[in-house]
Amino acid sequence: MAALDCATAVILAGGLGTRLRPVVGENPKVLASVRNRPFLAYLLEQIAQANIRHAVLCIGYRGDQVRSVLGDTYAGIRLVYSQESSPLGTAGALRLAMPLLQSDPILVMNGDSLCEADFQAFGAWHLTRTADATLLLTQVPDTRRFGRVQVDEEGRVLAFEEKDGRNTPGWINAGVYLISRRLIQAIPASGAVSLEREVFPARVGRGLYGYRSQGRFLDIGTPDAYAMAEQFFAAKTQA
């Protein structure tokens, strides 16, 4: 059996998408159209290619639209929904979904980015470490929008470097994680909490790893980045 065959995948799909509203209107950003399909469909197909058959969608803003578009199954994946009544942040939304999570570890994905990677290889690497969480990292030529992640030769995360305006290459957080149940259970059950700003920085030196991938990366969080999505997936089709 492959590393993630029985895993639960979680997609964090509750963001307001404020920066994208000039181009996608009032729709949730995970439903932003790319080549006449919602962006979320590409994430679900990536999960399906990894032989994962159970996914939880953490929805918030206009979550009913996400349910209406995706339904209960997609690409052979059974979909269940965790609806937040107020914004909880990425960690808070994950903690809210805890009763729906059926595996250990959990594959967690941001709903507004995609990184081409072998998820089964990612899972196998994670399982060889005593990791509470492993971040999928990707190398980009310009880290100004993202900040950087420093890791040692063994993949242990050493530091998160904040956005500093420097146009330099480096390893960034690609928005895909493998997280242990015990770490999710330790997230406060009320209030807004961020994985990126609070949970992960607090775990540096305490079982937090980074898996370096060479896959292409796309983040649709801004209008300029979203404008690149058509070309990104067109190139994938032609490859």
Q: Do 149 and 135 meet the contact criterion of CB atoms below 8 Å apart?
A: yes
CA angle 12, 16, 17 (to 5 degrees): 95
What are the b/e assignments for 105-120, b being 16+ CB within 10 Å? bbbbbbbbbbbbbebb
How many Å apart are CA 13 and CA 18, to the nearest integer?
14
What is the enclosing helix (H) or strand (E) of 160?
strand 157-161
Q: Which of 78, 144, 145, 163 is catalytic?
A: 163
Specify whether 163 is catalytic: yes
CA distance 116 to 207: 25
Q: Are 35 and 59 in contact (CB under 8 A)?
A: no
CA distance to 15, 56, 167, per residue, from 82 (Å): 13, 7, 38
**Which of 52, 171, 175, 40 has its CA nearest to residue 105?**
52
Taking the C-alpha atoms of residue 85 and residue 63, their distance in angstroms, rounded to an integer, is 10
Helix or strand run (H / E) with residue 200? helix 200-202
By annotation, the residues acting in catalysis are 163
